[in-house]
Amino acid sequence: MNYIDTKELYQRLQENPDLVIVDVRSLEEYRIAHVAQARLLPLDSLMSNPKESIDQIKEWIGSQDTIYVICLSDHRSFLACHKLSEHTIDNVCFIKGGTQEWVASGYPIVSNF
What pLDDT does 1 receive?
Answer: 79
What is each CA distance from 59 to 37, 52, 53, 111, in whole angstroms? 15, 11, 10, 25
Q: How far is CA 41 from CA 68, 104, 105, 106, in A?
A: 12, 23, 24, 24
Its pTM stands at 0.94
Summarize pLDDT for 42-99 with one digit per residue, the tens: 999 999 999 999 999 988 887 677 999 999 999 999 999 999 999 888 899 999 999 9
Q: Which domains, from first to last, does the chain contain?
A: 2-104 (3.40.250.10)
